[in-house]
Structure 1
Amino acid sequence: MPAYQIRTGDRAAIVAGLRELADFLADHPDVLVPPYPSVSVIVRADDADVRRSAAEAVAAPLGVPVEYFGGGHYAAHRDFGPVAYHVIAPPPERRPT
């Protein structure tokens, strides 16, 4: 079984962008913010075991359980204050295009 390969882009650039956004919002209190902000990562793997292990790999450092929704669909999430971080590992037929 092949391991899931993480393809989330340049981690340093993403972290820097999130910090830049946070600083911008802090410096501009007149700018609207979303009531339920979130960051979502979608695992695109055809094999259910690979999807589960990818969700587990994210859930462990987050300190949260992996949720199983049936049909090979796994997920985990953690709230950081009002901001939610989600990892979603749906089967191919339920994956957004």
Structure 2
Amino acid sequence: MNDNHRSALIAGLRALADFLDANPAIPVPRSVYALHFPHGATDAEMCAEVDQIAELLDAPINQEFGHYGASIRFGPVEYKAVAVLAARRAQYEADRSYEGCIQPDPIPDQNAAQAA
């Protein structure tokens, strides 16, 4: 990530906070997530990057659902570095291979049922 992108992201987050502060009628989400996904060819490379970030965050490593990550929270705002490991990516692709093959039964039109 270059310094211009970093500066632009930080400026955008501050601008959003200022905008929401100045416009209390606009609803805000319950939480905000800033996610960083390491770029790497192997699980080991991505995990090594997450390990480095975890050290900077002084945060433990969390491994669940085929993800390897570390995070820090600021109230309802979370920064998380997460590597999606190869086995999880393969499972996701396998699951997606069925997309469009299975169709649910149609849901009855509730408006028509109420009119009857």
TM-score w.r.t. structure 2 length?
0.66
How far the C-alpha of 1:26 sits from its partner, in A, is 0.7
Pairing 1:89–2:89 present: no
Q: Is the 8 A contact 2:38 2:46 kept in 1?
A: yes
For the aligned residue pairs, the C-alpha RMSD in angstroms reads 2.7
What code does the residue aligned with 1:33 have?
A: V
Identity over aligned pairs, percent: 32
Q: Is the 8 A contact 2:62 2:69 kept in 1?
A: yes
Which is worse superposed, 62-71 or 11-20?
62-71
What code does the residue aligned with 1:75 have?
A: G
Which structure ranks higher in relative contact order (CA pairs < 8 Å, sequence separation ≥ 6)? 1
Gaps of 5+ in 2: 94-116
Aligned length: 91
Work out which of the two has the higher radius of gyration on C-alpha atoms and give 1 or 2: 2
Q: Give the number of the structure whose residues are more often helix, by fraction.
A: 2
CA separation in 2, counterparts of 1:70 and 1:40?
Answer: 16
* Matched residue, 1:80: 74
Gaps of 5+ in 1: 1-5
Q: After superposition, give the CA deviation of every residue in 1:36-74 in whole Å (9 maximum; x if it has no partner).
A: 211111223231221111101211121101123376x31
Q: Is the 8 A contact 1:45 1:91 kept in 2?
A: no
TM-score w.r.t. structure 1 length?
0.77
Which is worse superposed, 14-23 or 41-50?
41-50
What code does the residue aligned with 1:26 have?
A: D
Question: Helix, strand or coil for the counterpart of 1:10?
Answer: helix
